[in-house]
């Protein structure tokens, strides 16, 4: 049996300081962005109004960070209590990933001083807008995730009050990602500029299934990396079993996607670059699905790491493609992120990693095996 | 709660989502709503309309050489532009195309706008209110015509697009600036129904001059701005994406999935029940 415990150790390691410096650099660039506008600082333009701050930080980033959601589904809905020690660390990744996504949206929107009106001007809400649903859900979920985590930060006497409300929060913490992760798919359905191999009414379902698989892979990855970093010796057989859930999700994803395309006669399929990308993307899903299907193939932590890395990459590439690569506003438009734009994303990810290491060192998040407990 | 009952609740949620989505009825242009008709065969490319549009909208001329305003694309300072199309094989064949907001009958930009900053007015124009716009640019992603533009070089950017000169008409003008100044009446303003009749009359009178199509009559659910041309519209850069508006597809799907929040409500009850039941079982892990 293992218990969550603070990992301890020095906070300001050289690596931590580098992460902080990258974060500080992104803040300096953002100051510039708020003075001169988005044009001079980013590669975005009227043809590609959404760049990596949305396609990577928000759409892909929250996908990678969906471990908290995927693990909660496993433990609380499918009643696999043995995975409980993995919920809290996964939830921390989720809370941090979503917080970064929220910050990215804030710096990406042009009229940020009006942002407060989105949650408060309820009489103007347009329920036809998938983005409104995503925005409200993500805002709520950031709060829910941090409250769910708060027993790790708060003194015991506060936790007693929270304990009663916790099941309802956990349920909300499963419902909200189900809604907004599928809506991230619905979001691009309205655009006729998405390539037909990606543009389908199945987008909400495909986004939801792939994100659950990706979330499990992310949780395994995170447990593997933190296990190595803090010499925790995680229970590898349990992690390998989670891998199987990734396989099931990805096989369902591949089946539904191909079936949908067959029904529509594979629109846009032919001898072109986008078809090649489509095939490569499908292969990227198939390989980890095959690797993780049989635990014996990933008994070794290194193999498990590679397989779950591939799985996260598959989900990430799919989302990135729907939002950017398969998005074609016409031949006159081109997009490639500018260096400042990339540095902001890198800085945000750096701050996310720094915050993770700080929190697990100071607060009880990661499960410490009983035998190594002092 | 029995596991079987729990599963029932979860399935009920799924079933609610799978209920047949009441497909949204097709939107039609409001009677007496206004629009414009552009006849490419009449346009001589003088760009007087571009200058008049800038004046009316209070946008400065974009003369990069200090003398000539040679705008080729819509942008954050340009709500109206005249483009030149040339046949690559036959340089003698060319035509001008005016581009501005199409004022769709069922606009994608309006469907996606979170707080309704973009609105389809009963009179025809799609209007913009900067006070409820957060600059998310979803309208740009959604618009099949790439019309809404963003002020990329501003710290306080707005969405820029034609609103059929709403401010000008409120001050007593009878028509937008571009239609008023056009020396060839290549762009005219009026009730959409009448413009549509006029367009078909022209095709019938001179079938040799026109491709047999009024672009905007049905395309993507129909637009308030209609086009006549001598060249197939796909060559002129007009999207050929069928006659169903994107919002009629997406709104049917999204409302079908959510069933007025019934699906999420059922799912929530099921999830809460599952969490309470399963947490009781392994209490010790959560200390």
CATH superfamily of A52-329: Formate dehydrogenase/DMSO reductase domain (1.20.1630.10)
Q: Residues B132, A105: contact at Cβ < 8 Å?
A: no
Question: Over its length of 287 residues, how does chain B's per-residue pLDDT go in tens digits?
Answer: 455 666 666 677 777 776 655 667 788 998 899 999 999 999 999 999 999 999 999 998 888 787 888 888 999 999 999 999 998 888 888 999 999 999 999 999 999 999 999 999 999 999 999 999 999 999 999 999 999 999 999 999 999 999 999 999 999 999 999 999 999 999 999 999 999 999 999 999 999 999 999 999 999 999 999 999 999 999 999 999 999 999 998 888 888 888 888 999 999 999 999 898 888 776 644 44
* β-pair partners for B78: B75
At B287 the pLDDT is: 41
Range(s) of the domain holding residue B112:
34-243
pLDDT of residue A232: 84
The predicted structure's pLDDT at residue B67: 80
Residue B250 in any domain: the answer is no
Domain shared by B175 and B143, yes or no: yes
So what's the pLDDT on residue A1? 47
A327 DSSP β-pair partners: A194
Q: What pLDDT is recorded for position B282?
A: 61
Q: What was the ipTM of the complex prediction? A: 0.94
| Percent of chain A at pLDDT exceeding 70 | 98
> Do B167 and B276 share a domain, yes or no?
no
**A108/A295 Cα distance (integer angstroms):** 42
pLDDT above 80 for A122: yes
Q: Do B112 and A79 touch (CB under 8 A)?
A: no
* Cα B162 from Cα A183, distance rounded (Å): 30
Are B179 and B63 in a shared domain?
yes
Contacting residues of B for A187, CB less than 8 Å apart: 138
pLDDT tens-digit profile of A239-282?
888 999 999 999 999 999 999 999 988 898 988 999 999 999 99
- Which candidate in A33, A37, A110 is best for mutational testing of the B interface (most B CBs within 10 A)? A110
CA distance B104 to chain A (A): 14
Give the tens place of pLDDT for each residue, A278-319: 999 999 999 999 999 988 888 788 889 999 999 999 999 999
Q: Cβ of B116 and A135 within 8 Å? A: no
Element holding B227 (H helix, E strand): strand B225-228
CB atoms within 10 A of CB B90: 8
Helix (H/G/I), strand (E/B), else coil: A368:
strand
Q: Domain check: are B9 and B105 in the same one?
A: no
Residues B39 and B144 grouped into a single domain = yes
Q: What six digits make up the tokens of A189? A: 């359905």
Domain boundaries, chain A: 13-42+340-359, 52-329
Across the range A179-206, mean pLDDT stands at 95
Could you tell me where the beta strands, DSSP code E, fall in B40-193? 81-86, 94-99, 118-120, 126-128, 149-150, 159-160, 187-191
B126/B176 same-domain check: yes
Does residue B274 sit in the same domain as residue B210? no
Rounded to a whole number of angstroms, the distance from the CA of B267 to the nearest CA of chain A is 7
Tell whether A31 lies on the interface with B, counting CB pairs under 8 A: no
B158 and B279 together in one domain: no
Beta-bridge partners for A334? none
Q: CB contact, 8 Å: A240 with chain B?
A: no
Same domain, B154 and B201: yes
Q: What pLDDT is recorded for position B1?
A: 45
Question: Do residues B218 and B278 both lie within one domain?
Answer: no
pTM of this structure? 0.93
The predicted pLDDT at position B9 comes to: 66
Q: In this predicted structure, what is the pLDDT of residue A372?
A: 47
**How many domains does chain B divide into?**
2
Same domain, B270 and B189: no
Nearest CB to B281; choose among A81, A133, A187:
A81
Take residue A304 and report the two structure tokens written for it: 């498990």
B248 occurs within a structural domain:
no
Same domain membership, residue B14 and residue B78: no
Instruction: Supply the pLDDT for residue B6.
Output: 60
């Amino acid at each position: 049996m293992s218990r969550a415990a603070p990992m301890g150790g020095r906070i300001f390691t050289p690596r931590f300081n580098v992460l902080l410096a990258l974060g500080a650099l992104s803040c300096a660039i953002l100051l510039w962005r708020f003075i001169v506008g988005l044009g001079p600082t980013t590669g975005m333009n009227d043809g590609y109004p959404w760049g990596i701050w949305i396609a990577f930080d928000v759409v892909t980033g929250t996908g990678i960070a969906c471990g908290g959601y995927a693990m909660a589904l496993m433990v609380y809905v499918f009643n696999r209590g043995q995975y409980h020690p993995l919920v809290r660390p996964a939830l921390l990744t989720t809370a941090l990933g979503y917080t970064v996504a929220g910050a990215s949206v804030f710096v990406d929107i042009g009229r940020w001083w009006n942002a407060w009106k989105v949650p408060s001007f309820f009489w103007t809400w347009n329920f036809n807008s998938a983005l409104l649903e995503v925005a409200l859900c993500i805002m709520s979920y950031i709060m829910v995730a941090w409250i769910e985590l708060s027993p790790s930060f708060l003194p015991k006497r506060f936790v007693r009050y929270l304990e009663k409300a916790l099941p309802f929060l956990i349920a909300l913490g499963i419902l909200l990602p189900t809604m907004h992760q599928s809506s991230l798919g619905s979001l691009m359905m309205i655009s006729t500029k998405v390539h037909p191999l990606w543009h389908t009414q199945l987008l909400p379902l495909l986004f939801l299934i792939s994100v659950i698989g990706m979330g499990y892979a992310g949780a395994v990855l995170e447990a593997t990396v933190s296990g190595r970093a803090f010499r925790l010796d995680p229970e590898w057989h349990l992690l390998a079993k989670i891998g199987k859930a990734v396989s099931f999700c990805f096989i369902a994803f591949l089946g539904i996607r191909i079936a949908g395309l067959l029904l529509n006669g594979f629109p846009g399929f032919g001898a072109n670059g986008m078809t090649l990308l489509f095939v490569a993307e499908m292969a990227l899903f198939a390989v980890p699905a095959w690797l993780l299907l049989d635990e014996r193939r990933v008994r070794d932590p290194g193999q498990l790491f590679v397989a779950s890395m591939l799985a996260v990459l598959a989900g990430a590439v799919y989302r990135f493609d729907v939002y950017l690569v398969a998005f074609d506003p016409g031949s006159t438009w081109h997009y490639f992120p500018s260096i400042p734009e990339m540095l902001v994303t890198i800085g945000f990810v750096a701050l996310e990693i720094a915050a993770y290491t700080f929190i697990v060192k100071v607060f009880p998040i990661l499960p410490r095996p009983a035998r190594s407990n002092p | 709660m029995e596991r079987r009952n729990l599963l029932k609740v979860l399935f009920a949620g799924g079933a609610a989502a799978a209920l047949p989505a009441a497909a949204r009825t097709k939107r039609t242009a409001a009677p007496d709503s206004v629009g414009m008709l552009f006849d490419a065969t009449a346009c001589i490319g003088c760009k007087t309309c571009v200058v008049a549009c800038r004046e009316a909208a209070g946008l400065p001329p974009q003369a990069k050489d200090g003398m000539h305003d040679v705008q080729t694309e819509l942008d954050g300072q340009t709500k109206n532009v005249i483009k030149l199309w040339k046949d690559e094989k036959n340089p003698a064949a060319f035509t001008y195309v005016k581009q501005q907001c199409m004022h769709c009958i069922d606009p994608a930009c309006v469907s996606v706008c979170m707080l309704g900053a973009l609105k389809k007015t009963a009179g025809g124009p799609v209007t913009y209110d900067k006070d409820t716009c957060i600059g998310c640019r979803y309208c740009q992603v959604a618009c099949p015509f790439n019309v809404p533009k963003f002020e990329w070089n501003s710290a306080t950017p707005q969405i820029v697009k034609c609103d059929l000169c709403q401010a000008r008409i409120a001050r007593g003008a009878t028509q937008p600036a571009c239609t008023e100044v056009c020396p060839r009446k290549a762009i005219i303003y009026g009730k959409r129904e009448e413009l549509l009749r006029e367009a078909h009359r022209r095709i019938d009178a001179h079938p040799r001059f026109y491709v047999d199509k009024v672009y905007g009559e049905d395309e993507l659910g129909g637009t308030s701005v209609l086009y006549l041309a001598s060249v197939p519209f796909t060559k002129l850069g007009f999207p050929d994406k069928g006659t169903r508006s994107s919002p009629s597809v997406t709104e049917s799907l999204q409302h079908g999935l959510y069933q007025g929040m019934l699906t999420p409500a059922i799912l929530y009850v099921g999830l809460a029940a599952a969490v309470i039941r399963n947490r009781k079982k392994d209490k010790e892990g959560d200390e």
